[in-house]
Amino acid sequence: MEDVKKGDADTKENGCPISPTHPVGMAGNSLVENSTDDEQDPESSCDDIATKYYEKLWHATDGEEKPEQRLQSLDIDGVASYILDRPCKNIIVLSGAGISTAAGIPDFRSPGSGLYHQLEKYNLPHPEAIFEIDYFRENPKAFYELARQLYPGRFKPTLCHYFLRLLHEKEVLLRSYTQNIDMLERRTGLPGEKIVEAHGTFHSSHCLDCHKEFTIEWIKEKVFAGETPFCTEPSEKHEDVLLPNPGLVKPDIVFFGESLPSKFFQRAEEDFPQCDLLIILGTSLVVQPFSTLVDRVPPTTPRILINNQRAGQVHPFMRMLGIGGGLDYESEDNVRDVFWEGSCDDGCQLLADLLGWGDELKSLVASEHETLESEIDDITAKLAAMPSGDEK
């Protein structure tokens, strides 16, 4: 989940303002859960959190002396040796749509197969409208019909997702930051406290007007029945609402025109100074503020991008002007950035092989997929027996 609209800084009580260039991320998608570890100090100010985030980002990209090179070689072999020899204990992973495409979830912009291409049947004014809060207010049916097709439970996590769980089991994962809303990280068994869903979660939902919270089980029943979910509170709670569809319930995923969860800014403030390796998987690194996370790690921390194409690079002209930031694979000043070209699954399997974990990863994926097979078959059969949104 990159075309964008200006964010509304005051859209959510528990959100923080974002850059005017942020979108939702679906596979760049995803769907997830809140847990007690997500609670924040009620006295904390979202404005203060976001301001501190951007201030530190500015200083992180100021011109500094060339740092030491910690990798034996600027390739995936050098990264594997670094993990084993250091040894790493605080790896952070940034992920996007590319880690979920192998699960059958479309990315957004691939010609002919991307999610935006598939949305043509909904007769939207433009593809991005399905994730715009104003359009959702007026026409929620299109979003919920799409949600029924992409809902958590229909897809198996990929090898790449299980690689994240393996990092956790090896006690080297500090945090996984994802743009996705498909909940596949959670489905691997990766604990909730290890995950930051930058673009929100399907695990909980709220009434847009009275803010009553609803569980994933409640809204899932409505969505699978082809219904548009409305609040269960008495109608008088919404009688002063002058917007379309008063009492409309929306999953806590981030739409265009909404704020990122405050947890994103709070965790970034705590986590990135500790990061000893940054692994970037399947993202184009164009969505802000998520893309700025690559600049939050210490200047000596190695960074590897595993992706089908290069991403996150700053234009040479900007570097010439002394405007730093971004990844740097090719210049003579590069001492830490590595690009591995290929699918996320292939890259993660290769890295696991180099670490001596390859067979363990393959066995984990095979075992987990076998367990999930019958569950997915049941969900698929249930959906096939239900009327489409057009028939409701």
- Give catalytic residue positions: 199
Kindly report the number of other CB atoms within 10 A of residue 1's CB atom: 27
Q: Which residues face 261 on adjacent strands?
A: 15
Of the candidates 147, 114, 136, 149, the one whose C-alpha atom is nearest the C-alpha of residue 2 is: 114
Reduced 3-state DSSP string for 217-266: HHHHHHHHCCCCCECCCCHHHHCCCCCCCCCEEEEEECCECCCEEHHHHH
β-pairing, 213-215 vs 200-207, is antiparallel
Of the candidates 301, 306, 285, the one whose C-alpha atom is nearest the C-alpha of residue 349 is: 306
What is the distance between the alpha carbons of residues 384 and 379, in angstroms, rounded to a whole number? 9
- CB crowding 131-148: b at 16 or more within 10 Å, else e: bbbebbeebbebbbbbbb
What is the distance between the alpha carbons of residues 331 and 280, in angstroms, rounded to a whole number? 19
What Cα–Cα distance (Å) separates residue 136 from each residue in 45, 52, 251, 287, 386? 28, 32, 11, 21, 23
DSSP code, position 170: T
DSSP code, position 10: T
Say how many CA atoms lie within 13 Å of 182 toward its Cβ. 31
Q: Tell me the one-letter amino acid at 35.
A: S
What is the distance between the alpha carbons of residues 385 and 148, in angstroms, rounded to a whole number? 13
What is the distance between the alpha carbons of residues 298 and 374, in angstroms, rounded to a whole number? 45
The helix (run of H) or strand (run of E) holding residue 142 is helix 140-150
Tokens of 321: 């002007």
